[in-house]
Chains A and B, each alone.
Chain A
Amino acid sequence: GNSVTQMEGPVTLSEEAFLTINCTYTATGYPSLFWYVQYPGEGLQLLLKATKADDKGSNKGFEATYRKETTSFHLEKGSVQVSDSAVYFCARDGRGGGSNYKLTFGKGTLLTVNP
């Protein structure tokens, strides 16, 4: 079945450091790929998405590029802030791999940014 693997945390950085959170997905079908962010006690918010190969999603200084050749969708930010501290989830939908638009999530990566 479909699966998503993302780097395990926790990740602790100093403010203004460079962030990378790795994410790979199973290659079945032609999925859309997503990054979601979750702040403590809240639901998930869509951070960015990409719907086809070579697309780059971006939002609030975060970026991720849909790499079909490496089945990856790594999240990056050039300079993190304390307010970026949260849990980040990578996800794919099921298109082309069965299950239509169901989302499959990675296990999440906790990011803590210190002043």
Chain B
Amino acid sequence: DGGITQSPKYLFRKEGQNVTLSCEQNLNHDAMYWYRQDPGQGLRLIYYSQIVNDFQKGDIAEGYSVSREKKESFPLTVTSAQKNPTAFYLCASTQPGGQNYGYTFGSGTRLTVV
């Protein structure tokens, strides 16, 4: 079955470390997104990519970086510059203008700073 796989499910980061969250999709979607979820704040967009080798900053991009070298992969790196990285991170994809247009989400990665 097609879908989005996020790994790991739980991730622990020490102060000053960079960590990378994986997001892989086999839906053949062009567009991919990273959202951050905090209690009571809904979902906020970190970065998005509408095509391979191109990506744009979302609303809260500071302290994060991404790459889009392959259509199916959109990894997110949380750098040491991100002051408060503890959160639930969600990856999503969609095919803009597709017949069954809609967003598919992964099951998320919970990042905790220790």
Interface residues of A (CB under 8 A from B): 32, 34, 36, 41-46, 49, 51, 89, 100-108
Cβ distance A73 to chain B, nearest Cβ, rounded Å: 15
Supposing A101-B94, A108-B42 touch, asked if A42 and B108 sit within 8 A by C-beta, the answer is yes
Complex CA gap A51/B94 in Å reads 15
Q: What chain A residues lie within 8 Å of B103 (beta carbons)?
A: 34, 44, 46, 103
Write the chain B residue with the least CB distance to A49: B102
* Count, A-B residue pairs, CB within 8 A: 50
Supposing A102-B58, A103-B33 touch, asked if A45 and B105 sit within 8 A by C-beta, the answer is yes
B101 and A51 contacting across the interface, CB-CB below 8 Å: yes
Secondary structure at the B interface, as helix, strand, loop or mixed, is strand
A102 to B95, CA, bound (A): 12
The distance from the CB of A14 to the nearest CB of chain B, in whole angstroms, is: 25
Known: A89-B42, A107-B40, A107-B42. A101 touches B96 (CB 8 A): yes
A–B Cβ pairs within 8 angstroms, 19 of them: A34-B102, A42-B107, A42-B108, A43-B106, A43-B107, A44-B92, A44-B105, A46-B102, A49-B102, A51-B101, A100-B96, A101-B31, A101-B94, A102-B45, A103-B33, A103-B43, A104-B45, A107-B41, A108-B42
Question: How far is it, in angstroms, between the C-alpha of A42 and the C-alpha of B3 when the chains are bound?
Answer: 14
Asked whether A105 lies within 8 Å of B43 as measured between CB atoms, the reply is yes
Of residues 57 through 114 on chain B, the ones whose CB sits less than 8 Å from some CB of chain A are 58, 90, 92, 94, 96, 101-108
Chain B residue nearest to A95 in the complex (CB): B96
Considering only CB atoms, which chain B residue lies closest to A9 in the complex? B40
Q: Once the chains bind, are A102 and B42 in contact (CB under 8 Å)?
A: no
Q: Which residues of B contact A43 (CB under 8 A)?
A: 6, 90, 105-108
Residue of A nearest to B45 (CB): A102
